[in-house]
Amino acid sequence: MIPSAQEIFSDSQAVTASAASTNIIDLGSPGTALGAPKALNSDIGKGRPIPIVVQLLEAAGGTSPTIQAALQVATDEAFTSPKTVRTSETITDGAAGARINIFYIPEGTDLRYLRLNYTTGGTSPTHTVWAGIVMADSTSDKSE
């Protein structure tokens, strides 16, 4: 896995109930091309697939713990009106290193701010999560 420090949503984040990632990504405002009447449209989901990895750093606690991630976008940093653009598979294997392997940013990811929103299940679930945009993912190397 090849992560970027600027594109990390969660770094050892404790998730014990449904919650948003501790970090958000600001894509910035799209500029206006020379002579164009308005700013360019921004949709980072078009083109080459951009992968996100969500991984448990420690074994999950609780009874039958599960966790799922939803990629959300918004026009403001406070996520006043978040829009969910993709929901991942659910992690049901609570072992350390369990992860959602390839979770791509879809078309329609067209607003300035990005975050993950986690939904937990089970009784008293506890998860320690790392999540971020990665350049490449290796499913054969579980030592991250």
**pLDDT score, position 110:** 85
Tally of domains in the chain: 1
**What burial letters (b/e) apply to 17-28, b meaning 16+ CB within 10 Å?**
eeebbbbbbeee
Say what the pLDDT of residue 143 is. 44
CATH number for 58: 2.60.120.1110
Task: Kindly state whether residue 40 falls inside one of the protein's structural domains.
Answer: no
Give the predicted TM-score (pTM) of the model: 0.84
Q: Domain range holding 117? A: 3-29+47-134
Sign of CA dihedral 133, 136, 140, 144: negative
Would 144 be classed as within a structural domain? no
Contact 125, 29 (CB under 8 A): no
Using a pLDDT cut of 70, give the percent of the chain over it. 86
Strand ranges for 2-134 from DSSP E: 3-15, 19-20, 25-26, 51-56, 61-74, 83-91, 99-104, 113-134
Query: Is position 38 within any domain?
Result: no
Radius of gyration of the chain, Cα coordinates, nearest whole angstrom: 16
34 in any annotated domain: no
